[in-house]
């Protein structure tokens, strides 16, 4: 099957050209390609069909138990690299709500002397994260825990990163059907106003600097939450679309 033929079969997708290139790179047989297209017609994300997605410098296994790594989230990786330009630092990194592990693993790939712990409430997500450490040749520890009940023996960290659930509960029903069908609700629902997990992190974060991904137009609310807990706002970073996507706070421990 040629690229143009595949692109035509994917004409129902707004990203037909990009998706055609991706499918072509998988070296599938024609019969396998037709099966992929049939599933794609029903709205299933291509990454979930193919079972992986590229992010930053790595490639990550994904399934229905984890969110897709999104280009927007690379803003957080860029932000850490800007604040910690020396890649030989032996940083200790905590990732709250690690999901597929893409953020933590990407940073461990950039900082070879760093160590990292990923925390998530989903056992199925942590299984994917562990597979992704092997796939990307890094070592990390993963802990099954609620953010509000972190093990007391964790100690302190140099950096905390998090892309927590930040969609208000009332908005979940209005999400695209593809999201509701193929993404885990646990990773989406941020409580009544979408800010529940930021309140938790602001209270318990055991590190002097925190890098947070946020939803659109949540900047002022999240800043107020952290300043109430005596964190100092340090910086914000916009994503590729020009939307404020990452907030950075610091605090003397």
Task: Tell me which residue of 7, 35, 11 sits closest to 22, measured CA to CA.
Answer: 7
Name every residue whose Cβ is closer than 8 Å to that of residue 24 and which is 6 or more positions away in sequence: 3, 6
CA-CA distance, 250 to 6, in Å (whole number)? 49
pLDDT of residue 108: 98
All domains in the chain, ordered by first residue: 3-42 (no CATH), 65-250 (3.40.50.150)
* Tens digits of residue pLDDT in 164-196: 999 999 998 888 877 888 888 888 888 899 999
CA-CA distance, 186 to 32, in Å (whole number)? 32
* Tens digits of residue pLDDT in 191-228: 899 999 999 999 998 889 999 999 999 999 999 999 99
What does DSSP say about strands 115-120 and 141-144: parallel, antiparallel, or unpaired? parallel
Q: Which of 7-16, 158-167, 177-186 has the highest mean pLDDT?
A: 158-167
Q: Using CA atoms in the order 239, 242, 243, 247, what is the torsion angle rounded to 10 degrees?
A: 50
Q: Is 43 left (phi over 0), alpha (psi -120 to 50) or beta?
A: left
Residue 42 has pLDDT above 90, yes or no: no
Residue 154 has pLDDT above 90, yes or no: no
């Amino acid at each position: 099957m040629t690229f143009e033929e595949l692109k035509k079969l994917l004409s129902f997708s707004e990203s037909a050209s990009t998706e055609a290139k991706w499918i072509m790179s998988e070296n599938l047989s024609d019969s396998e390609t037709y099966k992929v297209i049939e599933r794609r017609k029903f709205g299933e994300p291509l990454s979930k069909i193919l079972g992986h997605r590229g992010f930053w410098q790595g490639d990550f296994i994904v399934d229905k138990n984890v969110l897709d790594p999104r280009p927007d989230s690379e803003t957080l990786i860029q932000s850490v690299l800007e604040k910690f330009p020396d890649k030989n630092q032996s940083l200790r990194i905590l990732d709250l709500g690690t999901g597929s592990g893409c953020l933590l693993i990407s940073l461990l790939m950039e900082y070879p002397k760093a160590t990292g712990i990923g925390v998530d409430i989903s056992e199925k997500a942590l299984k994917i994260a562990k597979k992704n450490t092997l796939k990307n040749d890094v070592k990390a520890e993963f802990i099954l825990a609620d953010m509000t009940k972190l093990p007391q023996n964790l100690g302190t960290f140099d950096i905390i990163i998090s892309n927590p659930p930040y969609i208000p509960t009332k908005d979940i029903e209005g999400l695209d059907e593809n999201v509701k069908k193929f993404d885990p609700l646990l990773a989406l629902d941020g409580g009544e106003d979408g800010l529940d997990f930021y309140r938790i992190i602001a209270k318990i974060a055991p590190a002097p600097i925190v890098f947070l991904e946020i939803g659109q137009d949540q900047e002022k609310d999240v800043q107020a939450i952290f300043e109430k807990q005596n964190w100092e706002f340090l910086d914000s970073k916009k994503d590729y679309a020009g939307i404020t996507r990452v907030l950075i706070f610091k605090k003397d421990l």
